Structure 1
């Protein structure tokens, strides 16, 4: 029986069983155990916490060793000069007075090949979909067309975006054909179309003299990367035995990228797309699952039953990760081990193969963010594992960055760290490296014990550590978090921000922190954490952290040193922060993917001044959507915002099928967005 017959939530892209039972110190327990430097949430959703905690935390930007600027220049560049919008239940996009919007490149827009037109009745084929914009727009970035030559055009560029998952009912003319209703198989073209609707779109766009944006049809840059695109495996897992498949017996290649959520532009002008909840695309009938599958929830049910396509083509059979051959080179038992990575795409080289950068770890990547690069020093980037009770990671390259020669090779060698948030407001980066004495000692001590649900028998080498990143983080003693999603680095101060969306299991029976000392129980609204690396050096192995803001309803307070620095009201209540992005002027944009019930209503995007913590609601999406993915042109006068899984007939009231789309936001006077 398919998973969708068992759990009505299985099609939710955030659906993932809790698979971390390691018992590591939880984030909530750290927060409420703090003795000296504390951030406090108060209000109707935090009264229990307020009764337990006293003094406030000195914010990161106020610590003694902080060199972050709070000058007038930074203050003025991050001011919020718009009138906030109210919450909304309307099936349209709402923006402030003086702003306008238009929808752009909705699902099904032809961008390459023979440019097959979108058919509103759902009869496009799988081949058509491979040439059209994918479904469920998510992370997005605008690359100026002249970026490689040092330019920063705001009138022409490559819009590159992720397509996280699909709405099967809208994708097919009469909805999907269930295997259970079709003699145990699914029509192959339905499967082909679903795989093609995933992945990444690269779209060459240009603004005309009237200010209208359009696709540059016929451009060689226009490209689709799908769940079937050939890809190289790079980094420490290239050639590793646990990635051997019938497709690549030498473990150097694989096919496709799936469940692409957030992303990150690299300092050298390429695009990294994140593979998040990839585990649900595979199924195994093996009685004994390898720990690489147990720790991620790969089991005997797949999300879309692609392995049941009515063909024996291995491009579909590969989603059956059962042991069926005499060796791993004769079946796809290891196929799921070729997923769970950041995938690098060069949008300016359309003939290039995407690269799975395995050194950044294997887990449910939400995205990746880079610290500012410095000539001759290592590259540093951060990534969150978007699942309840999972972790935040940092990668520091072994080789130094040189602007003239930088490339993806910098991501193939380095040290992967996982974060531990200490009770006194400090934090540590724990190396997941067998050559690190502390980690090696923990690995040795854990051998022969039960780590969560896994009987631990050691790591055979460093590649084994990487393919089992989550298990390694368990053993290292990292701090479990409430679904770490998008991150962002403040361009003015270097502080790192991460959205912790929510964790409805926090404090429930059988889960962490059901006690008075850990009173953020069933964290349904989430919060945003931030930290400053020691000495403002992003390669440092320690940091200081605080809470930037607690999400919640009217009256929710974030308190620092006994003073409420944020009190949410009608202009800025929000829940479940998800997307984060700093614009080129230093404003922080916060996107939500939470409950659409009162008082929050439709999901939204807010702007925040990181210096003053002022927050205003800027954008509200249509009914049923997630507001996800945001970027602007370099002049910050055109903003691109993605709308995922809208309900009803948005954006076209004349059509029955909803279509994910990008929304273009501009100021009527041609000014800077948010100013």
Structure 2
């Protein structure tokens, strides 16, 4: 069935339609007001283009090295490897003295009857439910003795997301249609290739990692796994479906990108571009779908599965003639959340934590916890002109009793970046007088092409998080993706991947390039070093780009990109246990950047070196390590060609294990 009637971009699983038409002051304009007298040239090989620079991070003791206030050992963040060159080879490249090998590729059997992967694509849906999913993404290593207070670096649970699928590779000859319907088992297989994998792994005496076969921890969570709805939206009428008439349950998690390990040892999967999985042919869609871009057709046509099974027709969210208990008009409202999974309790149901908001979650990052203080975490909404959020729990953290309940009550904030280098966290809470006044003033007006008629209650605010942030006056950002908190300084970092939608009419002194395709990394310090503060100070850590791209602090060039560290479209971001910052890319593979890569940065000196280059066509996304930082796990997503096995024609997403040949700390 051809889908030529769709926007051609819509078939791209990474496509995020611009649906923010709030008119809030764009971040580029705020940056321009702050930096109007500070313009540098972005030098390149044979061309010079105007660019912008960062300024010193106010209020946190930054110096010419951009280090800020730190409490760690500077020697622990030094980069002791020789930078690798860019590469267009269909292989993984790591520095001299390092080794890399693929691990757990798509289709690897990990549970149940352990069905073997079939290179011809003939594995069934039931078999895929027992195998590694497709398109590996956010990943975390949980030491096997974590719950007992241990930090094993030789055995643990590796947990990772599977963001989306490649239909041309998952089936022998791509997707099929029979009289306009999809074969039911093809749909079952595609749904099973989404979700999350939990894999018990162990290193043998020779240093080789492998699956612990038969372990009760080995588990697949898919797009059809039963899940609970928790937090303020539990029981809310806009989440009522035929499956859950009391709005307390749903099925599946989809398009999971980055993730976040919690302080109590669970895994949060982020639902990002979930809107594309649903179809609504009704001419008048509710705002819960309009603000996210749900279309008249879905990306994979799961709702067209033969036989009309309930688990498939739920992707058709077109209202029927009855009530919400008779159809799936509200099914899309049960997606767009952070999903908590306890890897150490295989029988547990995943929990959708609605208090963290409903939007295109790229991931979540927790601030360091303090006994007796609230839990704080941050999340980016990965779409052009969307926002950065912070959640502060209502209840305090106590290590002995901490659990997911801490994420069910609290305040969700959205960020506003001011032109003087300060910022404000704006509460999305109807009990807050300022927010309530903005809501009341917006009633009857058009917000993001939606005629706003108010919020019923706090659950309605959270189900419509993007709309609430529009009304609050948040700053639209250039695709905020992964975040990370520096374990030494406490500064919070976020990647702003790119924004190709910027037009010539939007060019200004601080953002002189239309179609910003290279992105940058922003960071901030919370006021008083208090993560619950409602104010912060921000700056730019680095601008991505080609050779000669400069980041300037107080009129001094702090970073000037060279052959050793050019990069574009920063995406993945992670601090290792010693405080090195790892930056992954998902951008253009054209010259001079070539294949996507991972770089390491010293946050104190802003030294950046290229450490890892992926194979052809891939995105380098998701990174974690053992606690001793001697084994690193890096995910490779959507490779082209016959990687990682040259003898097979189908590419397979895989994790790459990186180690130093001398057994030392990775990156040191």
Query: SS of the counterpart of 2:521?
Result: strand
* Matched residue, 1:597: 590
Distance 1:283 1:4 in 2: 15
Query: SS of the counterpart of 1:663?
Result: strand
* Matched residue, 2:89: 90
Query: SS of the counterpart of 1:442?
Result: helix
Alignment check: 8 A CA contact 1:41 1:558 kept: no
Alignment of 1:528-607 (within 5 A): 528-607=521-600
1:480-525 superposed Cα distances (whole Å, 9 cap, x missing partner) = 000000000000010000000000011356xxx2445642432100
Alignment check: 8 A CA contact 2:55 2:540 kept: no
Alignment of 1:21-420 (within 5 A): 21-34=21-34, 42-44=42-44, 47-49=49-51, 56-58=55-57, 61-62=60-61, 69-70=69-70, 74-177=73-176, 179=177, 182-420=178-416
Distance 1:545 1:40 in 2: 20
Unaligned 5+ runs, structure 1: none
- Relative to structure 1, the CA distance from residue 369 to residue 446 in structure 2 (aligned partners, 3 Å threshold; closer, same or farther) is same
Alignment check: 8 A CA contact 1:60 1:531 kept: no
1:571-627 superposed Cα distances (whole Å, 9 cap, x missing partner) = 000000000000000000000000000000000000000000000000000000000
Query: SS of the counterpart of 2:73?
Result: helix
Alignment check: 8 A CA contact 1:429 1:541 kept: yes
- Relative to structure 1, the CA distance from residue 19 to residue 191 in structure 2 (aligned partners, 3 Å threshold; closer, same or farther) is same
- Relative to structure 1, the CA distance from residue 230 to residue 571 in structure 2 (aligned partners, 3 Å threshold; closer, same or farther) is same
Alignment check: 8 A CA contact 2:317 2:330 kept: yes
Alignment of 1:412-451 (within 5 A): 412-451=408-447
Distance 1:464 1:629 in 2: 32
Alignment check: 8 A CA contact 1:24 1:474 kept: yes
Distance 1:104 1:42 in 2: 39
| TM superposition shift of 1:527 | 0.1
- Relative to structure 1, the CA distance from residue 667 to residue 471 in structure 2 (aligned partners, 3 Å threshold; closer, same or farther) is same
1:660 is aligned, of 632, 635, 653, to 653
Query: SS of the counterpart of 1:530?
Result: strand
Moved more, 513-522 or 153-162: 513-522
Corresponding position: 1:18 with 2:11: no
Distance 2:113 2:511 in 1: 58
Alignment check: 8 A CA contact 1:41 1:550 kept: no
Distance 2:2 2:261 in 1: 37
Distance 1:275 1:508 in 2: 33
Query: SS of the counterpart of 1:62?
Result: coil
1:611 is aligned, of 599, 604, 624, to 604
| TM superposition shift of 1:325 | 4.1
1:331-361 superposed Cα distances (whole Å, 9 cap, x missing partner) = 0000000000000000000000000000000
Distance 1:227 1:497 in 2: 31
* Matched residue, 1:507: 503
- Relative to structure 1, the CA distance from residue 37 to residue 475 in structure 2 (aligned partners, 3 Å threshold; closer, same or farther) is farther
Distance 1:480 1:46 in 2: 28
Distance 2:383 2:341 in 1: 25
Aligned length: 664
Distance 1:198 1:466 in 2: 25
Distance 1:204 1:517 in 2: 49
Unaligned 5+ runs, structure 2: none
| TM superposition shift of 1:46 | 7.8
TM-score, scaled to structure 1: 0.96
1:91-132 superposed Cα distances (whole Å, 9 cap, x missing partner) = 000000000011000000000111100000000000000000
* Matched residue, 2:474: 478
Query: SS of the counterpart of 2:332?
Result: helix
- Relative to structure 1, the CA distance from residue 2 to residue 515 in structure 2 (aligned partners, 3 Å threshold; closer, same or farther) is farther
Distance 2:2 2:420 in 1: 47
Alignment check: 8 A CA contact 2:102 2:656 kept: yes
* Matched residue, 2:641: 648
Distance 2:58 2:137 in 1: 31
Alignment check: 8 A CA contact 1:40 1:560 kept: no
| TM superposition shift of 1:28 | 0.6
- Relative to structure 1, the CA distance from residue 38 to residue 584 in structure 2 (aligned partners, 3 Å threshold; closer, same or farther) is farther
Distance 2:57 2:339 in 1: 38
Alignment check: 8 A CA contact 1:499 1:528 kept: yes
Distance 1:508 1:467 in 2: 34
Distance 1:502 1:67 in 2: 25
**What is the root-mean-square deviation of aligned Cα atoms in Å?**
1.8
1:429-473 superposed Cα distances (whole Å, 9 cap, x missing partner) = 000001111111111111100012100011111111000000000
Distance 1:280 1:436 in 2: 34
Query: SS of the counterpart of 1:316?
Result: helix
| TM superposition shift of 1:8 | 3.9
Alignment check: 8 A CA contact 1:275 1:365 kept: yes
Distance 1:121 1:250 in 2: 44
Distance 2:277 2:68 in 1: 44
| TM superposition shift of 1:82 | 0.1
Distance 1:37 1:261 in 2: 38
- Relative to structure 1, the CA distance from residue 458 to residue 517 in structure 2 (aligned partners, 3 Å threshold; closer, same or farther) is same
- Relative to structure 1, the CA distance from residue 2 to residue 314 in structure 2 (aligned partners, 3 Å threshold; closer, same or farther) is farther
